[in-house]
Amino acid sequence: MRLVDVGDVIGMSKKNSNLTVIPFGPQHPVLPEPIQLQFYVDEETIVDVLPNLGYVHRGIERAMELNDYRRNIYLCERICGICNFMHGMAYSELIEKLTGTQVPVRAQYLRTIWAELARLQSHLLWLGLFAEAIGFESLFMKIWRDREIVLELNEATAGHRIHLSTNVIGGVNMDMDRKLLSRYLSDMNKLKKEINDWSPVFYKDRAFRAKTIGKGILPKKDAIHLGAVGPTVRGSCVPQDMRTLGYEAYGELDFQPITYDGEDTYARALVRLDETHQSIDLIKQAISQLPEGDLVNKNDKFPEGAAINRVEQPRGECFYYGVGNGTIHLERCRVRTPTLPNIPPLLQMLVGHEVSDIPAIVHSIDPCMSCTERITYVKEAE
Amino acid sequence: MPSFLGNIMENLFGKPATINYPVEKPPIVEGVRGEIHFDMRKCDQCQDCERLCPSAAISVDVENKQITWDPFKCIYCHLCVRSCLHKAISAKENLSAPDYKQGIKTFKTE
Amino acid sequence: MVIAITETGVSEEIQVTNGELVAKAKEMKNKGARYITVTARDLGDTLEVIHHFEVQDSVENIYTKVRKGEKVHSITSVYPVAFIAENEARDFFGIEFEGLNLDLGGKMLKTATSPSTLLKPAVGPQPPIMRKLGPCREECPAMVNIPKYIRQVESGDPEGAYNTIIEQAPIPGILGRVCFAPCQQGCRQELEIKPIQIRALKRYAADEFWKLNGGTYVRDVERKPSTGKHVAVIGGGPAGVSAAYYLGMLGHKVTLFEKEESIGGAMLWGIPKYRLPKDTMEEELMARLIEAGVKVKTKTPVDDLLALMDKGYDAAFIAIGSEKSNSMRCEGEDNVGVINFVEFLTAVNVRNETPELGDSVAVIGGGNSAMDAARTAKRLGADEVTVYYRRTEEEMPASLHEIHGAMMEGINFDFLSTQMRIKAGKPLRIEFQCMIPGEPDKSGRRRPLPMDGRMMSIEADTIISAIGYHSMVPESYGVEVNRWGNIEIDENYRTSLEGVYAGGDVAFGPTSVIAAIRDAREAASAIDKYLGGEGLPEPLPDTKEFVPRQTNLDELKELPQVEIPELDPIERVKSFVEFEQTLEKCQAKCEAGRCWRCDWNE
């Protein structure tokens, strides 16, 4: 079903009273975050889907204009609870571009290490939830217990399991000594062993493959045309990865974007599983190459002008656009998170499948709704 | 099933992964971000902490030399601890809630 | 329009109109661009809509401006996936899109009372506190921008520092020698007993500027274009000269009337030459008046104000000061040999006389004028000078600097003694009642009570009374006067006559030089508004200035406070040479570097 025709289809669905409407969400056991999709089904086959967003409003984009530009780091970190470090990092990089400061090399490597740790933690969370969506509940528990290794590592680094809050404008504010770095290496080895223990389920299990191969097809041309990002598009054989732009220390690390050409849910799951291995490798590489140096290079003027920054979050490309006017407040800060452009491909993927396939397919784009909704919350004055 | 057998044996005969809170407490890692405490003898009411707090949880009363801190607005980022130039704010390492009901805490010079 | 900085350099600025938007989008599609998102900005009465595209590895933006209410062409016919971002922009900013392929009817983002546009301010975290002025600046009556000029002295820019001070107080060289410096008491480092020596830095800036400027205080500044209005300023003291300077710089034609031979007012007769050399004072005051184009008429007392106004002046400012000494209220006050400090200091400072005082002098009083009188008497050759005050040492209103200087020069002090009777003769005999401190009165100081039966009898050749002074406004001015003899004014410094303003000692009673300058600046602003102008700018914190915070307080706390060089006390009483000297360059820079920058803005 092409999206260009979707206007006609909507009209048709509303007129045709033989179609049943099934509301999926906003609360559903398989969803990590609330989204409502209205399915128009004809017996068991999905004919049409309508999205309904807007359940997680907070006041973030408007609040970023009222706060001063340093406090905004903490606000940006709390846009999402899973990919939080990368939001903070993307915002700091944006302000560094607007003020023209250069981050020292050691700080770049430390940021890379923590960003890969965040990606690792996010993919493990997704793998657990996906396993549960398919029906493997003990696997879900086991994967989340392995995720605890990463969270305890976060706590040892910065004192908090989720929000590291180590970014500042111009660098980082916490250092890692030898003892901590050797703990990182030993924990990464332990994690790699654990992942190798249960990943054969994803590669070889018959029930898993039956539920995911051939479901949620997104052809390569449609993936590019519909503007999908992240593992959604990498599962359709398009090597699009923002880390190849070379921000922070990625320009000096050796890696390739992972692609699979299955174009279905199975391919997307394998992309994420392989990315966990890639993240562990990147962390080990970065630790071995860690140079000495300063941690912070403070800025010496207010943000002025306009700048664009893109980072690769676990779910895809995150886009920041900021405008400053030479005072302590930013004039506009726009955040476009990766789940928003992944929704049109989702609407396309679902049409033609059966109702029982819905959880796995919806889950395969990794929806993170709290990232998506940051718009103003309006409270009418009494 | 056979690939999961090692894990099943380990889980069946090992000890539980969870701890019996609140009878047992989890081990506190060094550097955990907990509650903050203001030492009013060193404070000279410069209001730097009030300006830097991201969630506006600190309020300084300059005339009466008092500081009020709202533990439920605080996000425990410890920016105030790092930026107080007289080192009047110190951090405790605890994982429990700072209070049992919503309210603010006031710190005065005795 | 701004050009955005991206990872790969700077992105292009492509401005299109609303009608060309779809054609431009087709062009991007042919290039193979991927659509990222749309951003909208609220610019008052227009909205700016920016579409972001990714072309190969870099980002290109297309900017469009529309008026509010105008429909924007949607690019969903070219890029169908734009419908989500455009629906979001529509719910956020209320932009109507024409040709949207999937219109979610304004219900995409649910709000508490939907549908409504979301341009109202959010209920969220409070805005940050405004940049602070700094406790020193808040204590200064004239709100001089102290932190800024301390930074300018530190970075080696005395001319900038001099100009910064003149914006709020036009006589930095004089203030650097005589101001009682309330700013130093407000400094945050006062708790460590090491406040920044702000007055010394001000004097350093003025002296350095004088040297760099070729030995003159006259600056090369432009006045505003002439307004054609005439203003009369009566009185050539600190308030009069400052008001004349500000009004002249705003473009008015000012004439200054002074009854003595030279200008200066209370700075001329009241402050001795060892604190403020008269040629320095005259040079700086004349420099300001020359810059402002003021016509000065000395030896011209003004007796009839209304006749003066009829001569063609549009407004007037009265700043005649206070010159009547308070009476000691004791018997025998009018005997020969008893003089009040106003007569005494005027004779010495204005007419350069050297009256014969005899060997022993008694000074009654505890303020700065008593210190001035005592130290002047010592320099005129009296062997023994004693100051008698009716309360204790801690309660003396004179500044500590003066008391300390007087003690070093060998002046004696006698506390808790009130004058009762003076008997004529050569030498004079004065009887004192000894007092003990009792309950505090409403000013907070303890009220002295007589100690029964204890009297003291002293012989002195000359007695100088320095108990205070008050204003005396001539009846012929026709302005309303309150019960203390000061002119009655409202909060805009207006008197009961139309177009006549007043300020300084004559309106508030004797205060200080810096308070008179504050009155002059505010009154000049009010006079300018009365004559149709805009007034002077208010001293608000500048939000665009970037001042980094001082974070190495531990190192700064180790540095000592600079000592202001003074002449030796035994030598300096032999003449009226200036006893305080200016700082060296390295001393000034070091002292300015100790500032904690309470007005940081980063």
Which tens digits make up the pLDDT trace of C452-504? 778 888 888 888 888 888 888 888 888 888 888 888 899 889 998 888 999 99
Residue C255 confidence class, pLDDT cut points 50, 70, 90 = very high
Nearest to B77 among A142, A155, A165 (CB): A165
Q: What pLDDT sits at residue C124?
A: 43
3-state secondary structure of A335: strand
Neighbours of C526 (CB within 10 A): 21
B49: chain C residues, CB-CB within 8 Å: none
Q: Do B76 and A145 touch (CB under 8 A)?
A: no
Residue of A nearest to B53 (CA): A71
Q: What is the pLDDT of residue C400?
A: 85
Beta-bridge mates of residue C458: C430
* pLDDT tens-place string over residues A86-119: 999 999 999 999 998 999 999 999 999 999 999 9
Q: Which is more confident, A209 or A5?
A: A209
CB contact under 8 A, B46 and C598: yes
Partners of B80 on chain C (C-beta within 8 Å) are none
Tally C-beta pairs within 8 A across A and C. 153
- The answer on C462 and C335 residing in a single domain is yes
Q: Return residues 41-60 of B near C (CB < 8 Å).
A: 44, 46-48, 50-51, 54-56
Looking at the fold, whether C392 and C432 belong to one and the same domain comes out as yes
Residues A71 and A20 grouped into a single domain: no
Distances (CA, A) of C225 to C29, C231, C410: 58, 16, 55
Considering the domain boundaries, does residue C406 fall inside one? yes
Kindly state whether residues C238 and C277 are assigned to the same domain.
yes
CA C477 to chain CA mean position, Å: 30
Phi, psi angles (nearest 5°) of residue C80: -60, -25
The 10s digit of each residue's pLDDT in C521-550 is 999 999 999 998 888 998 888 888 888 888
Does residue B4 register a pLDDT over 50?
A: yes
> Which of the four pLDDT bands, split at 50, 70 and 90, describes residue A121?
very high
At A8 the pLDDT is 43
* Amino acid residing at C462: T
Contacts A310 to C, Cβ<8 Å: 7, 59
Last residue of a domain, one of C46, C80, C98: C98
Q: How far B65 CA sits from the closest chain A CA (Å)?
A: 25
**Would you say C76 and A226 are in contact if contact means Cβ atoms under 8 Å apart?**
no
Residue that terminates a domain, selected from A16, A36, A52: A52
Pairing of strands C446-460, C9-10: unpaired
Residue C1 has pLDDT above 50, yes or no: no
3-state secondary structure of A318: strand
Q: Do the domain assignments include residue B10?
A: no
pLDDT (mean) for B62-85: 87
Q: Which pLDDT belongs to residue C120?
A: 41
Q: List the domain range (segments joined by +) for residue C81.
A: 5-98
pLDDT of residue A39: 81
Q: What is the pLDDT of residue A105?
A: 94
**Tokens (6 digits) for C457:** 């009898």
Residues C210 and C235: their CA atoms lie apart, in Å, by 26
> Does residue A188 surpass a pLDDT of 90?
yes
The whole-number pLDDT of residue A1 equals 33
Nearest 5°: phi and psi at A6?
A: -65, -25
- Sequence letter at residue A58: R
Touching check for B6 and chain A: CB below 8 Å? yes
pLDDT at res. C16: 81
Distance CA B106, CA C4 (A): 47
Q: In the predicted model, what is the mean pLDDT of residues C322-326?
A: 86
A198 and chain C in contact, CB less than 8 A: no
Pairing state between β C462-465 and C315-318? unpaired
d(CA B76, CA B64): 26
Residue A379 lies in a domain: no
Structural domains of chain A, count: 2
Q: How far apart are the C-alpha atoms of C409 and A66, rounded to whole Å?
A: 60
Whether residues A13 and A102 share a domain: the answer is no
Which CATH number characterizes residue B60's domain? 3.30.70.3270
Please give the single-letter amino acid code of residue C469. Y
Neighbours of A323 (CB within 10 A): 22
Spatial distance between the Cα atoms of C156 and A300, rounded to a whole number of angstroms: 20
Between C558 and B99, the more confident residue is C558
B46, B59, B79, B81: best to mutate for the C interface, most C CBs within 10 A: B46
Q: Between chains, do B82 and A70 touch, taking CB under 8 Å as contact?
A: no
pLDDT, mean of residues B12-34: 82
- Give the CATH number of the domain where residue C500 resides: 3.50.50.60
Contacts of C191 in chain B (CB under 8 A): 44
Distance in Å, alpha carbon of A307 to nearest chain B alpha carbon: 24
Q: Is B14 on the interface with A (CB under 8 A)?
A: no
Q: Answer whether residue A187 shows pLDDT above 90.
A: yes
State whether A158 and A43 are in the same domain.
Answer: no
Cross-chain residue pair A71–C128, CB shorter than 8 Å: yes
Quote the minimal CA–CA distance from B110 to chain A in Å.
32
Assess if residue C551 is contained within a domain.
yes
Averaged pLDDT of chain C: 85
pLDDT at C104 over 70: no
**In terms of residue numbers, what domain contains B58?**
29-108
Shared-domain flag, residues A275 and A321: yes
CB contact under 8 A, C122 and A97: no
Residue A354 lies in a domain: no
In a domain, B14, yes or no: no
* pLDDT band for position C118 (cuts 50, 70, 90): very low
pLDDT at A7 over 50: no
pLDDT digits 0-9 by tens, A18-56: 778 887 777 777 777 777 777 888 877 888 777 766 655
Residue A328 included in any domain: yes
Contacts of C326 (CB under 8 A, 6+ apart): C465, C467, C468, C469, C470
pLDDT tens digit sequence for A310-340: 899 999 988 898 888 888 888 888 888 888 8
**What residues contact C125, with CB distance under 8 A and at least 6 apart?**
A63, A66, A67, A71, A75, B54, B55, B56
Asked which of A157-171, A302-316, C125-139, C207-221 is least confident by mean pLDDT, the reply is C125-139
Tell me, yes or no, if A5 comes closer than 8 A to chain C by beta carbon: no
Region A143-152 average pLDDT? 91
Show the CA angle centred on residue A374, arms to residues A368 and A380, nearest 5°. 135
* The Cα angle at residue C84 between residues C78 and C86, in degrees rounded to 5: 70
Q: Is the pLDDT of residue A376 over 80?
A: no
Whether residue C327 has pLDDT greater than 70: yes
Interface of A with B (CB under 8 A): 67, 70-71, 73-75, 78, 138, 142, 145, 152, 155-156, 158-160, 163, 165, 173, 197-198, 200-201
Q: Do A373 and C109 touch (CB under 8 A)?
A: yes
Q: Residues C117-127: what's their mean pLDDT?
A: 44
Contact C52 A309 (CB under 8 A): no
- Of C66, C82, C65, the C-alpha closest to C74 is C82
Label the pairing between strands B36-38 and B58-61. unpaired
- How many beta-carbon contacts under 8 Å exist across A and B? 45
Q: Are A306 and C5 inside 8 Å of each other by CB?
A: yes
pLDDT at residue C3 in the model: 62
| Whether the Cβ atoms of residue C48 and residue C57 lie closer than 8 Å to each other | no
Torsion sign across C-alpha atoms A348, A352, A354, A360:
negative
| Dihedral sign (CA C521, C525, C526, C531) | positive
The pTM of the full predicted model, rounded to 2 decimals, is: 0.85
Give Cα C493 distance to the centre of its chain: 18
Task: Answer whether A159 sits within 8 Å of B7, measured CB to CB.
Answer: no
The answer to whether the Cβ–Cβ distance between A328 and C39 falls below 8 Å is: no
| Facing B54 at nearest CB: one of A74, A138, A159 | A74
Q: What is the mean pLDDT of residues C115-144?
A: 67
Q: Do C121 and A375 touch (CB under 8 A)?
A: no
Looking at the complex, does the CB of residue A164 fall below 8 Å from at least one CB of chain C? no
The fraction of chain C above a pLDDT of 90, given in percent, is: 25
Which pLDDT belongs to residue C514?
92
Cβ contacts of A246 within 8 Å, gap of 6 or more: C7
Cα separation, A318 vs C55, in Å, equals 16
- CB-based contact A341 C84, cutoff 8 Å: yes
Hey, which residues 39-68 in chain B have their CB within 8 Å of chain A? 52-55
Q: How confident is the model at residue B26 (pLDDT cuts 50, 70, 90)?
A: confident
- A281 contacts A253 by C-beta, under 8 angstroms: no
Q: What is the C-alpha separation between C429 and C360, in angstroms, rounded? A: 12
CA distance A378 to C118: 6
**Residue of A11 and C397 predicted with greater confidence:** C397
pLDDT at B62: 85
Are residues C243 and C294 both part of a single domain?
yes
Kindly identify which residue of chain B lies nearest to residue C192, measuring between CA atoms: B44
Q: Which of B44, B47, B50 sits opposite C191 (nearest CB)?
A: B44
pLDDT, residue C123, reads: 43
Q: Please answer yes or no on whether A74 and B82 come within 8 Å at the CB atom.
A: no
**Who's near C169: CB < 8 A, 6+ residues apart?**
C142, C144, C175, C242, C514, C517, C521
What's the rounded mean pLDDT across residues A186-201? 91
pLDDT band at C115 (very low <50, low <70, confident <90, very high): very low
Could you give the number of structural domains in chain B?
A: 1
pLDDT in tens, A150-181: 999 998 998 888 888 899 999 999 899 999 99
Residues 6+ positions from B66 with CB-CB distance below 8 Å: B40, B60, B106, B107, B108
Supply the range of the domain harboring residue A7.
3-52
CA distance B40 to chain A (A): 25
Does a structural domain hold residue C110? no
Residues of C at the B interface, defined by Cβ within 8 angstroms: 125-126, 128-129, 132, 188, 191, 549-551, 553, 596, 598
Nearest-by-CA chain B residue for C134: B46
| Distance linking the first and last C-alpha atoms of chain A | 47
Q: Transcribe C6-74 into DSSP letters.
A: ETTEE--EEE--STTHHHHHHHHHHHTPEEEEEEEEE-SSEEEEEEEEEETTEEEEEEEEEETTPPEEP
Identify whether C601 is part of a domain. Answer: no
Q: Give the pLDDT score at C11.
A: 65
pLDDT confidence bin for C285, thresholds 50/70/90: very high
Are C324 and C264 in contact by the 8 Å Cβ rule? The answer is no
**Are B67 and B107 contacting, i.e. CB atoms less than 8 angstroms apart?**
yes
Chain B: touching chains (3 or more CB pairs < 8 Å): A, C
Q: Is A307 on the interface with C (CB under 8 A)?
A: yes
**Confidence bin at C24 (pLDDT 50/70/90):** confident
Same domain, residue pair A77 and A32: no
Shortest CA gap A155–chain B (Å): 7
pLDDT at position C250 is 92
Q: Residue C169's closest CA among C488, C461, C518, C566?
A: C518
C507 plus C551 within the same structural domain: no
Residue with tokens 């060193």: B42
Q: Average pLDDT of chain A?
A: 84
Minimal C-alpha gap between A102 and chain B (Å) = 22
User: Residue C459's closest CA among C601, C527, C593, C362?
Assistant: C362
CATH (domain of A152) = 1.10.645.10
From C496, C530, C564, the end of a domain falls on C530
Asked if the model's pLDDT at residue C114 lies above 60, the reply is no
Q: What is the pLDDT of residue C522?
A: 93
Is residue A342 a part of any domain in this protein? no
3-state secondary structure of C138: helix
Spell out the long-range contacts of C566-570 with Cβ–Cβ below 8 A and sequence spacing 24 or more: C566/C405, C569/C405, C569/C408, C569/C409, C569/C410, C570/C410
CATH classification of the domain holding C169: 1.10.1060
Among partner residues C39, C80, C92, which is closest to A321 by beta-carbon distance?
Answer: C39
Domain-terminating residue out of C98, C115, C148: C98
The pLDDT, as a whole number, for residue A12 is: 47
Query: Under 8 Å CB-to-CB from C318, ≥6 apart: which residues?
Result: C234, C235, C305, C473, C477, C479, C487, C495, C500, C501, C502, C503, C506
Inside any domain, residue B44: yes
Number of helical (H) and strand (E) elements in chain B, helices listed first: 3, 5
Whole-angstrom distance, CA of residue A269 vs CA of residue C482: 90
Q: With an 8 Å Cβ cutoff, is B73 touching chain A?
A: no
C117/A26 Cα distance (integer angstroms): 24
- Residue C352 pLDDT > 80, yes or no? yes
Q: Is the separation of the CB atoms in C317 and C302 below 8 Å?
A: no
Count of domains forming chain C: 4
User: Nearest residue on chain C to B73, judged by CA atoms?
Assistant: C125
pLDDT tens, position by position, A255-265 = 899 999 888 89
What is the chain C residue with the closest CA to A5?
Answer: C101
- Reply yes or no on whether the pLDDT at A303 is more than 80: yes
pLDDT band for A3, please (50, 70, 90 cuts). very low
DSSP code of residue C533: S
Mean pLDDT of C419-430: 82
pLDDT at C556: 87
